[in-house]
Amino acid sequence: MLETEALKSLYEKHCKHGFQYIYGTAGFRYKADVLDTVMFTTGVLAGLRSLYLNGQTVGVMVTASHNPPEDNGVKIVEPRGEMLEQSWEKYATELANCASQSYSSFETKLQELVVTLKVDTKKSGGIVVARDSRESGPHLVSAFKAGAQVLPTVKIIDYGILTTPQLHFLTSKTNELPEGAEIGEQLYYQELLSAWDQVTDLCGIKSLPFHLQIDAANGIGGPKVMEMLSQSDFFSGAYEVVNADWQTYAALNHLCGADFVKTNQKLPHGISSSGNQAANQISCSFDGDADRIVFYYCDAMGHFRLLDGDKMATLFAKFFQDLLHQAGLQDAIEMVAVQTAYANGSSTHHLEKVLGATVKCTSTGVKHLHHEAVKSDIGIYFEANGHGTVIFSTKFVDTVNQRLAASTQDISKSHKALQLLKLFTKLINQTVGDAISDMLAVLAVLSILNWTPQKWDQEYTDLPNRLLKVSVPDRTLFKTTNAERQLVSPAGLQQKIDVLVSKFDKARSFVRASGTEDAVRVYAEAASRAQADSLASMVGTIVE
Ligand code: 16G
Ligand code: ZN
Q: Check if the beta carbon of residue 188 is closer than 8 Å to that of residue 230.
A: no
* Nearest of 465, 449, 400, 460 to residue 426 by alpha carbon: 400
Per DSSP (E only), the strands in 369-430 are 378-382, 388-392
What does the pLDDT look like over 353-375, one tens digit per residue? 999 999 999 999 999 999 999 99
Q: How far is the CA of 475 from the centre of ligand 2 (A)?
A: 23
Q: How far is the CA of 28 from the centre of ligand 1 (A)?
A: 12
Q: Check if the beta carbon of residue 525 is closer than 8 Å to that of residue 463.
A: yes
Domain range list for the chain: 4-183, 188-302, 310-437+453-457, 465-543
Residues near ion ligand 2 (CB < 5 Å) are: 65, 287, 289, 291
CB burial string 73-95: b at 16+ within 10 A, e below: bbbbbbbebbbbeeebbebbbbb
CB-based burial label for 526 (10 Å; 0-12, 13-18, 19+): buried
Pocket test for ligand 1, best of 74, 366, 514 (most atoms within 8 A of CB): 366
In CATH terms, the fold of domain 188-302 is: Alpha-D-Glucose-1,6-Bisphosphate; Chain A, domain 3 (3.40.120)
Q: In Å, what is the CA distance from 452 to each residue of 168, 267, 389, 438, 464?
A: 32, 19, 22, 17, 23
What does the pLDDT look like over 86-98, one tens digit per residue? 999 999 999 999 9
Task: Look over the chain and give the mean of its residue pLDDT values, rounded to a whole number.
Answer: 96
Element (DSSP H or E) covering residue 97: helix 87-101
Q: How far apart are CA 338 and CA 380, in angstroms?
A: 6
pLDDT at 277: 64
Mean pLDDT of 99-113: 97
Which residue's CA is the nearest one to ligand 1's atom 3? 365
Whether 188-302 and 310-437+453-457 share one fold: the answer is yes
CA 390 to chain centre: 11
Q: Which residues does 532 contact at the CB level (< 8 Å), separation at least 6?
A: 463, 464, 465, 466, 507, 524, 525, 526
Which residue's CA is the nearest one to ligand 1's atom 10? 26
pLDDT at 278: 67
Q: How far apart are CA 361 and CA 375, in angstroms?
A: 13
Q: Check if the beta carbon of residue 436 is closer than 8 Å to that of residue 444.
A: no
Q: How far apart are CA 235 and CA 150, in angstroms?
A: 46
What does the pLDDT look like over 45-54, one tens digit per residue? 999 999 999 9
Which residue's CA is the nearest one to ligand 1's atom 19? 514
pLDDT at 275: 65
User: Can you tell me which atom of ligand 1 is nearest the CA of 385?
Assistant: 12
Domain 4-183 class in CATH:
alpha beta
* Pocket-forming residues, ligand 1, beta carbon under 6 Å: 25-26, 65, 364-366, 383, 385, 387, 514-517, 521
CA angle 471, 473, 478 (to 5 degrees): 80
Of 50, 65, 363, 534, the catalytic one is 65
User: Can you tell me which atom of ligand 1 is nearest the CA of 433?
Assistant: 8
* Nearest of 449, 383, 374, 390 to residue 424 by alpha carbon: 390
The domain at 310-437+453-457 falls in which architecture?
A: 3-Layer(aba) Sandwich (3.40)
Q: In Å, what is the CA distance from 206 to each residue of 175, 199, 201, 356?
A: 36, 11, 8, 33
Mean pLDDT of 29-57: 98
Q: How far apart are CA 226 and CA 214, in angstroms?
A: 10
Pocket test for ligand 1, best of 71, 364, 521 (most atoms within 8 A of CB): 364
Q: How far is the CA of 409 from the centre of ligand 2 (A)?
A: 43
CA angle 405, 411, 417 (to 5 degrees): 65
The domain at 465-543 falls in which architecture?
A: 2-Layer Sandwich (3.30)
What does the pLDDT look like over 140-158, one tens digit per residue? 999 999 999 999 999 999 9
Radius of gyration of the chain (CA): 24
What does the pLDDT look like over 194-241, one tens digit per residue? 999 999 999 999 999 999 999 999 999 999 999 999 999 999 999 999
Provide ipTM, 2 decimals: 0.98
Q: How far is the CA of 189 from the centre of ligand 2 (A)?
A: 19
* Nearest of 123, 89, 130 to residue 1 by alpha carbon: 123
Q: Strand, coil or helix: what is 397?
A: helix
Q: Strand, coil or helix: what is 424?
A: helix
Q: How far apart are CA 335 and CA 358, in angstroms?
A: 7
Pocket test for ligand 1, best of 63, 287, 429, 516 (most atoms within 8 A of CB): 516
Q: How far apart are CA 181 and CA 170, in angstroms?
A: 12
pLDDT band at 407 (very low <50, low <70, confident <90, very high): confident
Which residue's CA is the nearest one to ligand 1's atom 4? 365
Q: Which residues does 496 contact at the CB level (< 8 Å), separation at least 6?
A: 542
Q: How far apart are CA 390 and CA 424, in angstroms?
A: 9
Give catalytic status of residue 412 as yes or no.
no
- Helix, strand, coil percent values for the chain (each to nearest 5): 45, 20, 35
What does the pLDDT look like over 155-189, one tens digit per residue? 999 999 999 999 999 999 999 999 999 999 999 99
Q: Strand, coil or helix: what is 423?
A: helix
pLDDT at 413: 82
Q: Which residues does 476 contact at the CB level (< 8 Å), separation at least 6?
A: 513
Give the lowest-confidence range in 2-6, 108-112, 266-270, 381-385. Answer: 2-6
